[in-house]
Amino acid sequence: MEDAFKGAPTGALKAGETLALEDTMIAAGSSTVIIEPSANGGCLVTGVRGKTNECRLIFRFAYSHVLCDIHVPNGSADSRITYLRSPAFDEMHSFTIGQPAPRQHGGAGGYGMTLEYHADPLNEVQGILWRGGLLQISRIRLIP
């Protein structure tokens, strides 16, 4: 299953609000989550500048293999992506994402990556928690 957040309404999701999509639910934590159009025809799930972003992406089903495409814009603070275990949504594995090097003259700045996680049997992933600096999540691939 691949989710590029197609069909998501663009705009702001205020702190504490949720948005249910076909296979994923976006839940804004203590800060606003922004959904904006992306170049791939889907949407980006992003936030605001600063260190207080918090967003949960909850999947309808649990998966053993999860890939998450992320862009870290120039000027972003450190962030943390944590995979949430099914069915209790316990935090099980985290990636710390450092802030980009200062932008070079004429360059777009920032960097992109794909985070990949293979869960152990009986510890499947049912969500992703993002906390910290500004990220742009463009696509999630979920494999049983």
**pLDDT per residue as tens digits for the range 62-89:** 999 999 999 999 889 999 999 999 999 9
Domain count, the chain: 1
Share of the chain above pLDDT 90, in %: 81
> Would residue 41 count as lying in a domain?
yes
**Residue-range definition of the domain harbouring residue 117:** 2-79+103-124+135-143
> Would residue 92 count as lying in a domain?
no
> Would residue 13 count as lying in a domain?
yes
E strand segments, the chain: 2-3, 11-13, 18-20, 24-28, 33-37, 43-46, 53-63, 65-72, 79-85, 91-97, 111-118, 125-132, 136-143
The pTM of the full predicted model, rounded to 2 decimals, is 0.91
pLDDT at 106: 54
> Would residue 50 count as lying in a domain?
yes
> Would residue 108 count as lying in a domain?
yes
Q: What is the mean pLDDT of residues 114-130?
A: 95
**pLDDT per residue as tens digits for the range 29-61:** 999 999 999 988 899 999 998 899 999 999 999
Residue 107 has pLDDT above 60, yes or no: no
